[in-house]
Amino acid sequence: MASLNSHSKDLSSFWNGKILWDIPMSQYSTLKVGGPAEAIISVANVEDLKRLVHWLKENDISWWIIGRGSNILVPDRGLSGVTIVLEGEFVGLEKIENQPGQKDKTALIRAGGGCLLSKAVHFCTANSLSGLEFAVGIPGSIGGAVIMNAGAWNNEIGNLLASATLMNNHGKVFTELGQNLGFTYRGWGIEPNTILLDATLVLAIGIKDEIKAACNRYLELRKKNQPLRESSAGSFFKNPPELSAGRLIDEAGLKGHLIGGAKVSEKHANFIINTGNATATDILNLMHFVQDTVYKHSGIRLEPEVHILGNEG
């Protein structure tokens, strides 16, 4: 990849909007760690995004899409290239008309890739739409949730996806049915650097009070069992088949283990938290220590659920 440093003037001339230079990624991550991004650009519409992706491709500049920073770990040295934040039309949310052949007791919503997942849950509750209750309390954006096939309590967002509007790394926009996205546990089958522009979800028409009650139950469970007040990236490791990563970490005696400012949560062992002064290196070192210790104890190698950006990923 070419150096952005040698193209910074060209990028400034090309891009009409604001460019943030050398901003710490700790400001964009729920883990509150990460070195500076060479450049951060907020994009508000599809045409501008297409232009930017074309320019980056032509100049061989690396780029990253971040949602709300809830499932990423950025190294201390930072991110080279351009970090793209989706705003404007990408944070939109609407209920759309029923499609031919759609079941009578269902409804569709369309959410932009940059729309907060919490906003979508609130919208569904307000409109008596059921199916997304499991996502209450999960931080991040719709785009991140779909790409990661976010889930909880035996529910996954991929099961609700009717279709998605996508952009490949050449700037081509296309629509794909949800059933063709190759959803797996905490992932999808679409090639890397594909951007989710929006997602259309199928919800059941329900009863508002029952939906609110379900959301409250899930939220109370999260408050009881997860360190929601600490800086973290949510569940750090994927659950092995038929097993719990948190239980494996706990059984290995790692709750409360500290490396630098990074700590295995004493409330939920599958959370690595920033105690206040952690570096990304602290978190990476703790991640490797947990993997090695659990492997020695159980013979199982845990795989990170968190996306580690940069070459170290």
**Cβ proximity of 12 and 82 under 8 Å:** no
pLDDT of residue 97: 78
How much is the pLDDT for 286? 98
pLDDT, residue 312, reads 44
What's the one-letter identity of residue 143? G
What pLDDT score does 102 carry? Answer: 66
CA–CA distances in Å: residue 127 to residues 75, 121, 143, 189, 208: 41, 10, 22, 31, 7
* pLDDT tens-place string over residues 293-304: 999 999 999 999
Residues of the chain short of pLDDT 50, as ranges, are 312-313
Report the C-alpha gap between 276 and 287 in whole angstroms.
17
What pLDDT, on a 0 to 100 scale, did the predictor assign at position 99?
66
* pLDDT digit string, tens, across residues 258-275: 999 999 999 999 999 999
Q: Can you give the pLDDT at residue 100?
A: 66
Specify whether 247 is catalytic. no
What domains lie within the chain, and their CATH numbers? 5-86 (3.30.43.10), 91-224 (3.30.465.10), 227-308 (3.90.78.10)
Which of the following is catalytic: 141, 186, 231, 265? 186
- Is 130 a known active-site residue? no
**0.85 exceeded by the pTM?**
yes
Query: Which pair of structure tokens corresponds to residue 89?
Result: 């039309």
Alpha-carbon span 177 to 199, nearest angstrom: 10
Distance separating alpha carbons of residues 49 and 179, to the nearest angstrom? 26
Give the closest residue to 129 by CA, choosing from 163, 98, 105.
Answer: 105
Confirm whether 305 is a catalytic residue: yes
> Which of the residues 38, 133, 230, 305 is marked catalytic?
305
Tokens of 73: 């770990």
Q: Which of 70, 231, 235, 265 is catalytic?
A: 235
Mean pLDDT of the chain: 93
Predicted local distance difference test score (pLDDT) of residue 313: 39
Give long-range contacts, CB 8 A cutoff, 24+ apart: 219-225: 219/136, 219/137, 222/136, 222/137, 225/267, 225/268
